[in-house]
Amino acid sequence: MSIGNSPPDDQPSVGRALAQARVAAGLSIDEVSTTTRVRVPIVQAIEQDDFSGCGGDVYARGHIRTIARAVGIDPEPLIDQYVAEHAAETAPAPVAPLYEGERIRSERRRPNWTAAMVAAIVAVIGFVGFTALHSGGGKSTADSTPTATAPTGTASHRSPSGNHAPSPSQPSNSAIAAAPPGKVTVKASVEDRSSWILATDGNGKELYQHSLKKGQSMTWTDDKKIKLVVGNAGSVQLFVNGKDIGRAGSQGQVAHLTFTPGDPTQG
């Protein structure tokens, strides 16, 4: 077990705070592992304040942040507590990152000669082609102008008929209202504090797993169902098949929700 500076008697350790939050959220260790992609043995060890299996201080802080969001609590105080308790274990000299930075910069210098040679060759070919074109005298400048502009006009005409689907990161309410019959469309919009969200489709395929900040939103569509795990449910407004069904839950709550084409059956 990794041992650092002991917390005060009235303050739970980092691992105990995460374990208490997980139990309060009604989640098992397996569910936390599936949601965060942190292996079960590491989740168990962290809840016992054993960070030796994390692979280093940076990874330990990353696991704490990911698990805290999954169980619906603010990770920053826990990370500060971890740093304070384990300050003695932090490596004093970042030798490896410094070496890595030098190695990357060294590797990036080498391709510059190749790029310069390619640029020179392209310039020579372009000059030869330009000279040949003007020395041929086959067509006048006026004759060649329609040929050059015709593809541009065609491309401009075709561009509106591309993909009409709105970007998932910037959905619109009209797109939700126009959801095809027989499908389920769910939009999650963060109104207050940031919230961590996991979205899967009817086949269990992961559609999204990340945190959304205030003012951001995401939309998902499937033929069968959309399943959501919302880390801070009180901050998330839900729209199902074009209808506003209100908040996903209360502040700090981890909500597990499933929606089908026949919904909303709530809200």
Residue 66 has pLDDT above 50, yes or no: yes
Residue 208 in domain: yes
Higher pLDDT, 182 or 95: 182
Long-range contacts from 41-49, C-beta under 8 angstroms, 24+ separation: 43/67, 46/14, 46/15, 46/18, 47/15, 47/16, 47/18, 47/19, 47/22, 48/1, 48/15, 49/1, 49/2, 49/13, 49/14, 49/15, 49/16
Please state the rounded mean pLDDT for residues 41-64.
93
- Give the pLDDT band (50/70/90) at residue 150: very low
**How far is residue 15's CA from residue 13's CA, in Å, rounded to a whole number?**
5
Q: What is the pLDDT of residue 129?
A: 78
Element (H, E) at 148: helix 141-158
7 neighbors 81 (Cβ within 8 angstroms):
yes
Residue 266 in domain: no
What average pLDDT is seen over the chain? Answer: 76
Among 57, 89, 121, where does a domain finish? 89
Residue 107 in domain: no
Whichever domain contains 83, its CATH number is 1.10.260.40
Q: 206-234, pLDDT tens digit by residue?
A: 999 888 888 999 999 999 899 989 888 88
199 neighbors 223 (Cβ within 8 angstroms):
no
Residue 124 in domain: no
**How far is residue 105's CA from residue 112's CA, in Å, rounded to a whole number?**
12
Q: What is the pLDDT of residue 78?
A: 93
Structural domains counted in the chain? 2
Q: Which amino acid is at 93?
A: A
Whichever domain contains 213, its CATH number is 2.60.60
Residue 165 in domain: no
First to last CA, the chain: 47
Residue 166 in domain: no
Among 67, 89, 111, where does a domain finish? 89
Q: What is the pLDDT of residue 263?
A: 87
Q: What is the pLDDT of residue 259?
A: 87
Among 89, 107, 137, where does a domain finish? 89
The domain of 84 spans 14-89
pTM exceeding 0.95:
no
- Give the pLDDT band (50/70/90) at residue 87: low
Residue 26 in domain: yes
Q: What is the token pair recorded at 127?
A: 């000059």
- Give the pLDDT band (50/70/90) at residue 170: very low
